[in-house]
Amino acid sequence: MNDMPFAAVLHAGGGEGDALLLELARTLKRQGWRVRGLVSVRGKDPGGRLPMQIADLRDGRIFDISQALGPGSHACSLDPGGLAQASTVLREALSERPDLVLTNRFGVQEASGRGFAQEMLALMSEGIPLLTLVSPQYQADWQRFTGHPDCLLPLRESALLAWAYSLPGQTPTRLPTATDGRIREG
């Protein structure tokens, strides 16, 4: 059994972590889990033409979380209004008490107490399992945020599934293997 119902997947960017969270959600939902939260569906566009978007795992609602700052801008393009709208998904999950909540990432906003930080803390304090992504840049911030240095998972679906199955009340009938076709090892 897992004593820490929260963890972050250490990722290097480039979208592989986002795809892994989405695949995990799909796999667990097929097994009857109630999975809620937000996953990235479009990351940062280097050209700045397309907004970053996250999706609600329950109903597919899309939230634009970036703003166009114009050519040549080097400021953070995250849109606080878009993040605030998307945070309602996490607050709804708090009252629904699902089997697992995913958040697209713990990043600069959360490290400074903004973004989804309050919702993540509320979920953790209620014992609702939470999984997110964190880059090496914010790894130490995540560990301070949680108070636990050992709540990091490698970027492998088998590790995420093993963690999920170790949560209180979760006992799979069979653990998937790499030969199942759904599991990607990286």
Residue 174 banded pLDDT, cuts 50, 70, 90:
very low
> What does the domain layout of the chain look like in residue ranges?
6-180
Q: Indicate if the pLDDT at residue 77 is higher than 80.
A: no
Give pLDDT tens digits for 80-107: 788 999 999 999 999 999 999 999 999 9
The mean pLDDT value of the chain amounts to 84
Q: Distance between CA 34 and CA 25 in Å, rounded?
A: 9
At 146-163, the pLDDT tens digits run 999 889 999 999 999 999
* Mean pLDDT within 114-129: 96
**Residue ranges in the chain assigned as alpha helix (H):** 16-30, 80-96, 108-111, 117-125, 139-146, 157-165
C-alpha 57/C-alpha 72 separation (Å) is: 34
